[in-house]
Amino acid sequence: MRTSQFILLFLCSLIGFSGTVHAQDSLKLVPTISVDSLDLLALQMEDDLRDQQGLAPRYAVPNLVEITAATHGHWEKLDDKLAMWRLRFTCKNAISMNFGFQRWLLPIDSEMMIYNVEGTHRIRPFTIDDYNDSGELWTPAVAGGDVIIEIRCPQNAVTLIKEEIKLTSVNAGYRGFHEAFGQQPLPNNIPSLSGSCNIDVACPESVGWENEIDCVGVISTGGSTFCTGFMVNNTSQDGTPYFMTADHCGIVSGNAPSLVVYWNYENSFCRTPGSAASGGPGDGVLNQFSTGSIYRAGSATSDFTLVELNSPPNAAFGVSFCGWDASTSAPTSAVGIHHPATDEKRISFENQPPSLSTNFVTVNDWDAGTTEPGSSGSPLFDQNHRVIGQLCCGGAACGNNLSDDYGRFSRSWNLGLAAWLDSAGTGQLFVDTLPAGGGGPVEQCSNGTDDDGDGLVDCNDPDCAPSPACGGGGGPGAPANDLCSDAQAVGEGVFAFDNTGSVLDGPNACDTNMGTDVWFAYTATTSGTATIETCGSAGSLDDTVLIVYDGGSCPPSPTCLASDDDGCTTPNFSSTVSVPVVAGNTYLIQVGGWNGATGNSDLSISV
């Protein structure tokens, strides 16, 4: 963020009021703050470097200021009861402007409006309902480079407003949202309009994906950068406004209040993919938005960020909450929904199974549509309409067959997502999309009550299929020995296992890196020192955690006999322990992946 020198053309620092005037009186009364003109060539060079560094695309230049209603602007009396404050902002070659308030509080019966001087674009009024605990307010963008901020309030509220309104960032836009602002992209200004091969969500190809389309939005952070993100459901399905995007989009705890999400920014009709119209300006509008959030979790490992919006989106916007799958099940196809180059929402299709690695899901070559800068953070859905990742990186674009990498949802699950999306600790590893207007009672699966009122109780309700209480093991395809109560009975020998689809079941106090575990009930056939290990396995799970407990009762005591993380030399991160055993006694063995790693391996037991 760079600090711009700003020129104060008029400064009325008024402690009282001017005489009674009318709002429509000449703008000559309104002082003007002008920020530096934009050096488009320098910005293009900076943006090329940002792109090489994998940073989120930028659409506006922040200018740091310190402006209050006590030190700047013009106060007027509208009548015997109402007062009005106005301040004008200009940037010679900006196509949009947005604003960040470090301190913002309006009293009851007051409102703030932002509009361009031409009168073509106005943001809905901000009121006391927009206040949040951070005390900050960041606005959507307004078209053009000549904008007025106006506050109307009771005259007895003027003193409070002078103290509680502090503007600290004036952000001049130079690209993005072009058609919404009636502007064509500047020459050589990438990202420009999205490519013609993209598919509008209004096209017939998107039929059946309406609920998932409704959960995706285009975002601005810090009044400067843009990406895509999506509302995300949770196991309680209670409409908590969790929102996900990519870690590289740059949202952290310090700037989370600056998040602005635009909803339903879509073309009103299908522009034929491949046509000139599809690569040209659309007719989407930016009048539905949410502003402000609280940072909840994130990791560069799988490139995810989770925030909680300050308030749920307005019900009239029809925003849904995306379903997801945190298991390691392999998808058979994939669909991406995104905002390429901050343009209207598009949809892309991959008809083949994506490739899977520990941290990423890779779309090798889109069969229809593509992604572009600005699509980062957008969700990738599997054939069951559940999110399996968010866009990290890749080179896909119209005219090439390059791949895209999505941070894998199942990896993010154990890197912070589970604590928020399954705060009830149900162990579920998938939920479906919660449609707009959804929420309400959810079947709890183990209390003998028909919680959701569908006439089906607990495990008789299909909603409980993924619940461990109903033998689901937390997700589809869970191993038979996923739960401690289903531990596989073994003696000495070598036993293959696969923890794909499993969940953490039982204590992990002896090693908090334990995750996605399976269980064995080992009964010793001879007394001595038992060596229990995953060393030497050639399986895909090469980073294991191993804990051994005395006795065969579940749940076991949190106090273990032994534990190990990286005791082996082959593979480097496999595990080995040695414990004294007595013939005829049973010992529970908990073996899992480090921090949620999954795959197949072998458990060897010898005395």
Per the rule left: phi > 0, alpha: psi between -120 and 50, beta: everything else, 542 is alpha
Q: Choose, from 376, 467, 537, 563, the residue flagged as catalytic.
A: 376
Residue recorded with tokens 């076991």:
556
| DSSP string for 197-265 | T-EETTSGGGTT-HHHHTTEEEEEETTTEEEEEEEE--TT-S---EEEE-GGG---TTTGGG-EEEE--
Tell me if 576 sits within 8 A of 568, measured CB to CB.
Answer: yes
The angle formed by the CA atoms of residues 423, 428 and 432, to the nearest 5 degrees, is: 100
Q: How many CB atoms lie within 10 A of CB 130?
A: 19
Q: Is 527 a catalytic residue?
A: no
Q: How many CB atoms lie within 10 A of CB 402?
A: 15
d(CA 23, CA 13): 19
Residue recorded with tokens 């190990």:
564
Q: How far does Cα 507 stand from its chain's mean position?
A: 30
Token duo for residue 370: 């593509």
Residue recorded with tokens 């096209």:
203
H/E element, 51: helix 40-52
d(CA 602, CA 607): 17
Q: Choose, from 248, 290, 320, 348, the residue flagged as catalytic.
A: 248
**32 DSSP assignment:** E
Nearest Cα neighbor of 250 from 294, 175, 303 is 303
**Which residues 6+ apart lie within 8 Å of 305 measured at CB?**
244, 245, 246, 247, 249, 251, 295, 297, 298, 377
d(CA 245, CA 230): 7
Q: Looking at this protein, which amino acid is placed at residue 519?
A: W
323 DSSP β-pair partners? none
Nearest Cα neighbor of 412 from 393, 389, 392 is 389
CB hemisphere CA count around 267 (13 angstroms)? 28
Nearest Cα neighbor of 414 from 499, 330, 535 is 499
d(CA 81, CA 58): 43
Tell me if 191 sits within 8 A of 48, measured CB to CB.
Answer: no
Q: How many CB atoms lie within 10 A of CB 278?
A: 23
Q: Choose, from 47, 214, 247, 303, the residue flagged as catalytic.
A: 303
> Alpha carbon of 75 to those of 71, 83, 179: distances in Å?
11, 7, 35
Q: Is 376 a catalytic residue?
A: yes
Nearest Cα neighbor of 152 from 114, 117, 116 is 114
d(CA 483, CA 485): 5
d(CA 427, CA 474): 5
Token duo for residue 290: 């949410």
Catalytic residues: 248, 303, 376
